[in-house]
Structure 1
């Protein structure tokens, strides 16, 4: 890179045995900054410290502005503290601004405290930079504290400071405090702008205060402010969070009338809201409004979730196919939703076919195993093991649906070998799977294991085991079992005792 002329002039003066003036050096440093030659600016500063002229605070601040990184700025700052001149307000301002961009809010606060210890007067710009740094990190307590400190120093509050503090509160889910700051700003006589009202709308959205979202959006019109895309998106998001799907769709329609387009995230929220209200047709209509180049996995999450809520497995499968055509990969959550709704609707074969559409995790595997139970495909269910506890119970249920009790017993044994904490769900499913078999001894053993573990058998499972014992006239263990069941508070003991007396009569 060609050397700037002003810097070349300084070097020429030194080569000729002369001493450049402070003004010449400062101008050369500023030129280096405009040319993005931070290393040359730092090098010239070191030459000045060594051979003169001694740099003043303005010259060092010019070097700070020329620096291309925070590391270089801190190097200049430490040099000023150790070798002089002392940092001034502009020095701290430059550093705080850079620290704010780097989201290093703790260091911003340290710089503000250091200024106070040096008895340097802060200004609105410094406070704005520090509060903005806290806002980016969602550090609302520090942002509010700085705003209060600014007011205590009788510095005029700016919309930038108030808006940044409001946004920090909203990001920290302190929506009530954010709205309080908005009221305080208005009371101070400041004319709020679209940015501040948008921050208030976002705060209401965080606090699920959908009435507040609408009120602030209408305030913009009453104060002759034109709502922008950010304000509309925030309002629509807040309404959808509160499941106000009708109002959400009205906001989206109003945006289009103002030639504004909602972003994909806002439409996804609207889709989700419609889905929770079982309005899957409206959900899909909103989904279709997302531009093709903005379609992402989040939007498909919302659309497939809406179909799952309404039990519309055909629409869910269609969305998975569209996702594939868009060259997006279905994640486990979407796949699990589609599998679940297909299985619940009896389309177990379709559910199993969806396994090839994306990655398979525990939730997807469990949904597939449940589909196997619906379709009496216990062999396929076992092939999907190992799984977690839910999956193993679903596999036992799949075996029970086809009276494949031997396979169910193997699954239970596998659970015990893996030291899973087996509860009543697995035992009840297995005892029910024994219905119709002659294996009264296994049913009795399972029931005794449950009672020993202080687990309560379901009435269906209990009736299946005791009924099997009675049918095969295995009544020797009934008194002990019934006594234990009475102690556990099992139901229908009295009627079962009556059945026992009937079968116990001598022929």
Structure 2
């Protein structure tokens, strides 16, 4: 048995084969092994070698790197034995022809949208069997975090190797490696002593995050249960450790930061007061932590109180202190105070940063002060600050709350020009702006743009788009979007279903509204008042009064309290069916549930009585309205006048018309027609002619009847 001799030795290298069960990868390996053997192309040999590599050696390559490497290489095919991923930082993707093992969904969509092409390796073998016109690329192999720790030992001169650490920060290295001054490796004393003594090696205990005094402070009563108790408790906890705090101010910082994380601002303020009383040094870190505690819990008054007391403690606030105070005012809806703090910062030699302006813009956004939000956004470049995605998103949301959808879309288009990548919040705010103004086409267009820019549509985006379709009566589009949400991994919520049910209500699709309402419990979604009210209204418009009453009864069974809107919709359904007894029963039932009927409730009940020829009940309800000082509208008066025409009570009809004029409601054509018909029934033709002449005087065209 002979051996192969190459370069004077035995061949011991064995060909590595792909360790995968993917049949497609195995077939590609066979294909390129054949091409490498039958063609003397180095390209095919490299492809075959890389196909057999492990997943670690087939790293992904982003679109930004593809665009960089394929610049000025028009007509070439980029070949990547790995995955091509998206890069949100790259706003525009050039036209590329890429061959890869796999493409992410967003990367493929962006390449195809730019007019490019995504190839597989079997298609590449047909198009370029020898690798002509291709550019072979590879992702960063040494981009893993583990690669940072390979190489010369940490601490050795000219070594850039990162040490293994137990935690982020300083002095947590596990080993230092070889020192420059001695030729031995520094050993862990505990490990060596354990090895000599035969004992077990115990892992060092990490320093607890919470200090003992912090744990004790967390057990104190909350301020809402007694302010005096909290001050006394703080004194009892901190008095034993006062001497250690005087020598180590960082211990106070740890305690105050822990209180900020637990959102206990009043305890943090008491700690600061105790430090001042005991003449313990207070620095800016202590005050910033206390203000942060107020900011996290929305206590803007306490945050401003601490900020104003800092000069008394001889502590100058810094940008962190001001940012926390501005954010506290923002959460409390105090936009005037937030702007005042922002303008106060330069006076105290503190320069506002992006966080300061973003918090101030958010404060204006909360109260729909969109003009001020845009003014602050335009002011940032003047102070050499670049607005970020948070600043733009807050400004877009401010325009959304102010009903300025054109400005919101303008800001969204401006972001890429300013080299700021829009995020999900930016698009959601712009979609909501279109939703509030009923621009459902624009909202739908923005929603369809999200995958192309590498953003997954969320519940908020879909719900806002469905609501935009609901406002415009586009119930078909709303239902399509609701069905699409699970496919896009965006679970529908109560808001999504409520908007879809309301869209079906406005489109007169009661069967779809009821189906959606029944589907909500199957998805563990709880139907609320809005859900039932929209479904009852849909049944009312479709004349299905029995369904409306069943839904009203079902609300109490599922512990959803009906409101005035629920009863109004049910009474309206009874009115359309001419069921006066049901309308009156529902009207009386409202008082039992401590609900006050409004003008719509009475008007629908009066109209039901009028259709059922119950003119006495109609007049009684009108009188009850006036006694309870419920504002009657033209619909109420006209229904009562029409009811009088049945009995020929022309005196009452004319009296009601006079009441309309006294309540500053001008009788309209329906009022005059009903009054004329009443006079005609009673044989009062002179009054009928007089009323007919009055219509000409008040510029009402008489009917031909």
- The TM-score bracket by the shorter chain reads 0.7 to 0.9
Give the TM-score, by structure 1 length: 0.77
In structure 1, what is the equivalent of residue 364 of structure 2?
134
Q: Distance in 1 between matches of 2:373 and 2:314?
A: 32
Q: Give the superposition deviation at 1:173.
A: 1.1
Which one is further off, 242-251 or 288-297? 288-297
Q: Distance in 2 between matches of 1:177 and 1:138?
A: 13
In structure 2, what is the equivalent of residue 124 of structure 1?
354
Equivalent residue for 2:389, pick from 159, 169, 182? 159
Q: Distance in 2 between matches of 1:10 and 1:330?
A: 58
Which one is further off, 227-236 or 424-433? 424-433
| Cα separation, partners in 2 of 1:88 and 1:180, compared to 1, 3 Å | same
In structure 2, what is the equivalent of residue 432 of structure 1?
677
In structure 1, what is the equivalent of residue 211 of structure 2?
none
Structure having the higher strand fraction is: 2
Matched, 1:423 2:655: no
Task: Provide Cα deviations, 1:28-68, integer angstroms capped at 9, x if missing partner.
Answer: 364255355324423234236xx575x44444434544667
| Cα separation, partners in 2 of 1:190 and 1:132, compared to 1, 3 Å | same
Q: Distance in 1 between matches of 2:421 and 2:534?
A: 39
Q: Distance in 2 between matches of 1:25 and 1:238?
A: 55
In structure 2, what is the equivalent of residue 332 of structure 1?
564
After superposition, residues 287-326 of structure 1 pair within 5 angstroms as 287-291=517-521, 294-326=526-558
Equivalent residue for 1:369, pick from 606, 609, 632? 606
In structure 1, what is the equivalent of residue 23 of structure 2?
none
Task: Provide Cα deviations, 1:321-366, integer angstroms capped at 9, x if missing partner.
Answer: 3334334443333333333343334444444443344343222112
In structure 2, what is the equivalent of residue 398 of structure 1?
643
Matched, 1:200 2:430: yes
3-state SS in 1 of match to 2:380:
helix
Contact 1:6 1:28 in 2 (8 A): no
After superposition, residues 377-396 of structure 1 pair within 5 angstroms as 377-386=614-623, 387=625, 388-390=632-634, 391-396=636-641
After superposition, residues 30-429 of structure 1 pair within 5 angstroms as 30-32=254-256, 34-35=258-259, 36=264, 37-47=267-277, 51=279, 55-65=282-292, 69-81=299-311, 84-291=314-521, 294-358=526-590, 359=595, 360-386=597-623, 387=625, 388-390=632-634, 391-405=636-650, 407-408=652-653, 411=656, 423=667, 425-429=670-674
Contact 2:641 2:675 in 1 (8 A): yes
Which one is further off, 211-220 or 76-85? 76-85
| Cα separation, partners in 2 of 1:165 and 1:379, compared to 1, 3 Å | same
Task: Provide Cα deviations, 1:355-384, integer angstroms capped at 9, x if missing partner.
Answer: 344343222112111111111111211221
In structure 2, what is the equivalent of residue 479 of structure 1?
none
In structure 1, what is the equivalent of residue 252 of structure 2?
28
3-state SS in 2 of match to 1:384:
helix
Q: Give the superposition deviation at 1:182.
A: 1.3
Q: Distance in 2 between matches of 1:71 and 1:411?
A: 56
3-state SS in 1 of match to 2:398:
helix
3-state SS in 2 of match to 1:434:
helix
Task: Provide Cα deviations, 1:279-309, integer angstroms capped at 9, x if missing partner.
Answer: 2222322333333862222222222232333
Q: Distance in 1 between matches of 2:315 and 2:513?
A: 64
Give the TM-score, by structure 2 length: 0.57
Which one is further off, 353-362 or 58-67? 58-67
| Cα separation, partners in 2 of 1:269 and 1:126, compared to 1, 3 Å | same
Contact 1:60 1:76 in 2 (8 A): yes
Which one is further off, 421-430 or 451-460? 451-460
Contact 2:292 2:325 in 1 (8 A): no
Which one is further off, 286-295 or 126-135? 286-295
In the alignment, structure 2 segments of 5+ residues that lack a partner are 1-219, 221-232, 626-631
Q: Distance in 1 between matches of 2:611 and 2:380?
A: 66
Q: Distance in 2 between matches of 1:401 and 1:328?
A: 41
Bigger radius of gyration among the two: 2
Q: Distance in 1 between matches of 2:654 and 2:340?
A: 65
| Cα separation, partners in 2 of 1:333 and 1:76, compared to 1, 3 Å | closer
Contact 2:660 2:667 in 1 (8 A): no
Q: Give the superposition deviation at 1:110.
A: 0.8
Q: Distance in 1 between matches of 2:286 and 2:684?
A: 94
Q: Distance in 2 between matches of 1:76 and 1:371?
A: 63
Task: Provide Cα deviations, 1:108-147, integer angstroms capped at 9, x if missing partner.
Answer: 1111111133442221222222222222222222222222
3-state SS in 2 of match to 1:385:
helix
Structure having the higher helix fraction is: 1
How well do the aligned residues superpose, as a CA RMSD in angstroms? 3.4
Q: Distance in 1 between matches of 2:460 and 2:633?
A: 45
